[in-house]
Amino acid sequence: MSALTLSTSSAATLRADAVVIGVAKGPKGPVVAAGAEAVDKAFDGKLAAVLEALGATGGEGETTKLPAPSGLKAPVVLAVGLGDAPAKDEDFAHEALRRAAGSAARALAGSKKAAFALPVEDADAAGAVAEGALLGAYSYRPAGNAAAAKKNDKADKGAPLAEIALLGGKPRDKAFKAAAERAATVAEEVNRARDLVNMPPNELDPKAFAAAAQTAGKEFGLKVEVLDEKALLKGGFGGIMGVGRGSDAPPRLVRIGYTHPKAEKTLALVGKGITYDSGGISLKPAGHNETMKCDMAGAAAVFAAVVSAARLGLRVNVTGWLALAENMPSGSATRPGDVLKMYGGKTVEVLNTDAEGRLVLGDALARASEETPDAIVDVATLTGAMVLALGNRTFGVMGNDDAFRTSVFEIAEEVGEQAWPMPLPAELRKAMDSPVADFANMGERMGSGLLAGIFLKEFVAEDIAWVHLDIAGPAYHESAPYGYTPKGGTGSAVRTLVRLAERTAAGDLG
């Protein structure tokens, strides 16, 4: 990941390959944002006019490169659009800063060092700029595969930006320094999740994923327990075993725990970890298989969030449950019509083997409930229906506790992850009635994204607040990069889970 440094230098005097300044859309044309005063002075106060002459508007994500005039140490000025200028006495939204910094970092791929002179009014704004720049500079670099890394660098027009110098704050100020350090930690963990999602499925099967968790556990002092296929069978984890039994790569359930000696609350995070999803016997149609390595994005988010909590030293206990399996068709695979006995004893008739995520999550939710955490959040690329409802950039938020659901939704908005609260209508439950089991894994087509949430609710203890995040849309981005969002794995939900852990540690969630 790119290195992050803090500097008290002026944008005019810091030596770098480029200096990044912000420009906003004003009523009469582009407006140079605060933080770029020294750069504007080098242009004799005419920087806005020069940018307008070059066609810049200040629109969100717009980037314009200029040769630097004499008076600047950096040879290039990069103006990045912040969107509409805020009203008088208001600051730019943190998400606008985050996205602008990400766009600038991508535009400067191939450079060694860039100085970011975006408007930083306080420590939180500085953290947003740092986070956006670090996330925007991301490029997937396959371990041990120089050819693939070189190809990615070429696609990104050069190797990732090596060093990001953050200007405009006070490096000696504890709040400013803490915000920058937090941004670096969280960005690194988001990028860990992205790397896992981007890995080829023949390199990241359940066993390899579990091994990655064990390695991180040793590095960050986490307690990691791995249940292999023998332990899962003996323990009665019929959902995970039922999904994984069609593959030569057997399933795993990983418990990764962070504890703080002064913690008063415990969060349990549960992630769907289907390392490849063919659909099983209910095989996916052609054209729907190519990106199914991303079906473990929920487990990747949970993994990264637990490591983040440990690295940040949060005063909260966080337990992550990674439900890992590969869903493949074979002579031993679960068939439509089979009945599985889930962990805890409930039985499920499998009507569609491509509705497998809820089966592995059901087992993990039931097991997580046994430890009576104060709250549970599960994260999953669960349903295409949620993508149809909310699009590719927004995840759905459902739960059994309206106040907790609202809190998680508001946290997602705060950190810049697009989300929307969704209901769990009680009348949909009847659609899952089965004549041969307690219920089926499918119901009616209409509202099927909500019905999946209702299915999961069956495995959560009634006295535990629970929220379900369906990240099927934003977990994997197939179009051109934008802001700090790359093509491929995005690390969706990591930042929401980390902020939730921070709020819980601070006692802000009751």
Active site residue 207: no
Element (H, E) at 313: none
Closest CA to 108 of 65, 56, 54: 65
Whether 274 and 296 have beta carbons less than 8 Å apart is answered as: yes
In the sheet where 439-440 sits, what is the strand order?
A: 339-341, 347-349, 439-440
Give me the helices (H) in 156-249, please: 174-198, 206-220, 229-235, 238-244
Distance separating alpha carbons of residues 425 and 143, to the nearest angstrom? 46
> Which of 225, 105, 113, 103 lies closest to 162, judged by CA?
113
Supply the DSSP symbol for 192: H
Which SS3 state, helix, strand or coil, does residue 202 take? coil
Neighbouring-strand partners of residue 225: 255
Question: CA 143, 149, 153: angle at the middle one, nearest 5?
Answer: 145
Instruction: Read off the tokens for 349.
Output: 């008739």
DSSP state letters, 338-394: -EEE-TTS-EEE-S-TT--HHHHHHHHHHHHHTT--SEEEEEE---HHHHHHH-SS-
* List 99, 207, 315, 358, catalytic entry: 358
**106 is known as an active-site residue:** no
Distance CA 244, CA 213 (A): 19
* Sequence-ordered list of residues with C-beta below 8 angstroms from that of 364, at least 6 positions apart, any chain: 240, 253, 270, 321, 322, 323, 378
**The one catalytic residue among 284, 346, 393, 457:** 284
Spacing of C-alpha 425 from chain mean position: 27
Catalytic residues: 284, 358
